[in-house]
Amino acid sequence: MEKSVIDNHAVNDYPIHDLLRKRWSARAFSTRKVEKTKLFSILEAARWTPSSRNEQPWRYIVFTSNNPSKLSEAQSVLLESNSFAKQAPILICAITKKSYTESQDPNRLYFHDLGAANENMFLESFNQGLIMHEMGGFNVSLAKEVFKIPDEFEVGIMIAIGYQGTNDSLPEKLKIKNTKPRQRKPLSQIAFSEDLEHGLQDTIDQ
């Protein structure tokens, strides 16, 4: 990693796996190319995600700095607020299939399964010594057009992957955002017993 990169580890209340603690949405990307084997390991991590009826509804359209004109087309769908991701050597458009292939029934869980696969990619990216950033801030209708997305798919998210760059490379506003301690709701606000009125932690003794 380059000098003055940031480790914004989780400040966790209970022990968790090191990768979960270290994963975070960094914004300073280096333009350094990512090795093909690393990219394929990250996609392999997505491949092994569990999914409803093993449908594997996720699809990833990958753009790399090996083809700068295509990468620049992918960059064009990002909102201004996400222009930090234009430094990244890899941009991915993650889409997901809305119905089950065999029965053709609507798949209620298509976004769930895409999110799970994306998280696997996130963790593998950090395992490979890279950073990743998911972005909902992009022009969806433009993405559908630019990436020629068929109607049976929903466009999910844009993903940037690369080596971490230095915080100095970011504009002032993003520098601050990029160094802010990460925050989470306490466990008492997300885990319950019986119904939302009863906190789980109060009802489990050991």
Ligand X SMILES: Cc1cc2nc3c(=O)[nH]c(=O)nc-3n(C[C@H](O)[C@H](O)[C@H](O)COP(=O)(O)O)c2cc1C
> Cβ of residue 82: shortest distance to ligand X, in angstroms?
5
Residue nearer to ligand X on the CB measure, 113 or 134: 134
* Burial environment of residue 186 by CB neighbours within 10 A (0 to 12, 13 to 18, 19 or more): exposed
d(CA 101, CA 57): 9
In DSSP notation, 61-126 reads EEEETTSHHHHHHHHTTB-GGGGGGGG-SEEEEEEEESB-TTT--B-TTHHHHHHHHHHHHHHHHH
Q: Which two tokens stand for residue 10?
A: 């989780």
State both tokens at 128.
């490979």
Minimal distance, residue 157 CB to ligand X, in Å: 6
DSSP code at position 54 = G
Q: In the range 22-81, which residues lie near ligand X by CB under 6 A? A: 24-25
- Residue closest to ligand X when measured from CB atoms: 137
- Residue 36 or residue 182: which is nearer to ligand X going by CB? 182
* Residue 137 within binding range of ligand X, rule CB under 6 A: yes
Does position 120 interact with ligand X (CB under 6 A)? The reply is no
Q: Based on the shown chain and the rule CB under 6 A, indicate whether residue 136 belongs to the binding site for ligand X.
A: yes
Q: Which stretch binds ligand X (CB under 6 A): 37-45, 50-58, 67-75, 134-142?
A: 134-142
Residue 139 interacts with ligand X (CB under 6 A): yes or no: no
Question: Which residues partner with 14 through β-bridges?
Answer: none
| Binding track, positions 154-173, relative to ligand X; x by CB under 6 A | ---x----------------
Coil, strand, or helix at residue 10?
coil
**Residues lying near ligand X in the complex (CB under 6 A):** 24-25, 82, 134-137, 157, 182
